[in-house]
Copies of this chain bind each other. A is one copy, B any other.
């Protein structure tokens, strides 16, 4: 195994005989893709064909149970003289003499030396089977950019296995179609190396997580139902009509109740790669179904769960993570310093509480940044206006400080934020002030970075946010901040009756470079405490009687977590969207671009499900 570091811009490739390398605009962070990492689990390595090191461990068989002898990424000078059978897609034909054959593992140049063999009329992407002999390439013609660049296969026979009738777009990396067209013809889009790479990584990452949990730590993977009853107090759940008139299942939004019942049932080390459903089709970048790594553990503590996840990720995540323990931050610290409960700590740019500079009873925070940035453009000023409205706070930009606060106070402010800094201030209710500046922080950072006025450390910076409030104020009284089964912090239980808003919970979120990638909590195991919390939340406990019975009948203390696999894999693969790590994602509004689902149903179905 080796490590190749590519710096500067990321290279992109297109498939031709000479695999020329083009520079292309791609996100700068992509360069990390070219690193190869060999962790304790031997199947964790990064790569994609031809341009990236092999994904495939050499001890694995990629040709077993098939009629090919080798993949298109496999042949080397050491195979010289071997009779081989290759199968794949016709990538390119040049001068009726060279045929570039592609499969998921690479490209192999095949040459026509026999006058009985003709490739002139074969359209690109035709599926062929090639019988041939491995020969070294003529001197000075080997291609160092191709894994198989030192050999070619002299074709003895070529068999067309399937024809191509129709191609909505070409498989050219430099002319990739728009996402909507890609999703509509996903079966072609999946042939691009990025998608091949992403799906392989997803498979390997989940497999390594399973190995960690089952083989090292004796967890038991249990499949729980997805057709269940509605969870009170959660997100909107899809419903599924049955042939019993008026009766519906709900598609689970998570296996929460089941995993807690498993704890009561003595399955004390549970996990599941669980499919979950939420009807949030109108929210962008949300999928109606998604995958989470769902874990629950009996006889554990908050520290136990956190250590488990730290070790799990450290051993299975593709990118380098710091050694456990990961940094922890309270919810309060996160809000006050970064204006977010999922702060991006790859750069500093912290908020500063400067309320003490003012006589009034207001809360004032400032976000100081280099004054070399200059004034915000109209676009960003517009954004600031929107945020003011969203959070009902007053935002004061650096250039208006004097006008707003006068000489004396402004000079105090400048003193605090530093003379080389500009500052944006927000005035209003504390949490809103912070959240507003948190959003401003998020658009300031790239602006500052682009002018080299802010250091952004793009390594992985996992962070636990803890000590969340148990409740938040909602329209109809208190609502749960995490979910109704989260345990209150033992130091605050006495406040449940008198001051519930100040009760902290034993919930925790895992944040990775500004993305929430997981969350969980120590659960309530005592039925009476659970009933009390349900009462505070005005949730009808009769709808959870099965669950309360499970707590009543001998249930160990327990806690758990769920990791969002789509997001985690997309970070690992530097994908721009979670759709790039899902084989067949839905597009906006829950529509399936391939089949057009959701669809009209038949009259028969309407009758059967009593939907007249």
Contacts and interface: CB of A to CB of B under 8 A. Distances in A.
A223 interface: yes
A601 B230 contact: yes
B214 A203 contact: yes
Contact of A167 (B187, B553, B608): B553
A261 interface: yes
Residue among A218, A551, A552 with the most chain B CB within 10 A? A218
Interface in A17-32: none
A217 interface: yes
Interface string A166-202: 1110000000000000000111111100011001101
A61 interface: yes
A65 interface: yes
Interface string A275-308: 1010101100000110100000111110011011
Contacts of A549: 166, 185, 187
A161 interface: yes
A552 B166 contact: yes
A550 to B, nearest CB: 4
B527 A267 contact: no
A222 B225 CA distance: 20
Nearest to A60: B218
A246 to B, nearest CB: 6
A248 interface: yes
A210 interface: yes
Nearest to A89: B554
Interface stretch (A232-240, A336-344, A345-353): A232-240
A165 B553 contact: yes
A391 interface: no
Contact of A289 (B227, B244, B589): B227
A546 interface: yes
B68 A299 contact: yes
A250 interface: yes
A262 B584 CA distance: 10
Nearest to A90: B554
A430 interface: no
A165 B527 contact: yes
A199 B223 CA distance: 9
A525 B597 contact: no
B203 A166 contact: no
Contacts of A262: 187, 190, 583
Given A207-B221, A227-B288, A305-B65, A164 B553 contact: yes
A210 B249 CA distance: 31
B207 A258 contact: no
A592 B275 contact: no
A73 to B, nearest CB: 12
Instruction: Give the interface size class of chain A.
Output: 35 or more
Contacts of A355: none
Contact of A265 (B188, B203, B298, B305): B188
A527 B163 CA distance: 9
Given A162-B525, A266-B103, A599-B230, A297 B66 contact: yes
Contacts of A301: 67
A223 B274 CA distance: 11
Given A66-B297, A67-B301, A186-B261, A554 B242 contact: no
A170 to B, nearest CB: 11
Nearest to A127: B556
Nearest to A261: B187
A62 interface: yes
A66 B560 CA distance: 12
A289 B226 contact: yes
A406 B264 CA distance: 69
Given A188-B264, A600-B247, A125 B553 contact: yes
Nearest to A260: B187
Contacts of A164: 552-554
A362 interface: no
B599 A229 contact: yes
A248 B598 contact: yes
9 contacts: A87-B298, A129-B299, A196-B266, A207-B221, A227-B586, A227-B592, A229-B596, A242-B279, A248-B605
Q: Please give me the 9 A-B residue pairs with the lowest Cβ-Cβ distance, nearest first.
A: A190-B265, A125-B554, A247-B598, A229-B597, A187-B264, A65-B304, A187-B550, A229-B595, A165-B552
Interface of A: 43, 56-57, 60-62, 64-68, 87-89, 103-104, 125-127, 129, 161-168, 185-191, 195-196, 199-200, 202-204, 206-207, 210, 214-218, 220-230, 236, 238-244, 246-251, 258, 261-262, 264-269, 275, 277, 279, 281-282, 288-289, 291, 297-301, 304-305, 307-308, 525-527, 546, 549-557, 582-584, 586, 589-590, 592, 594-602, 605, 608-609, 611
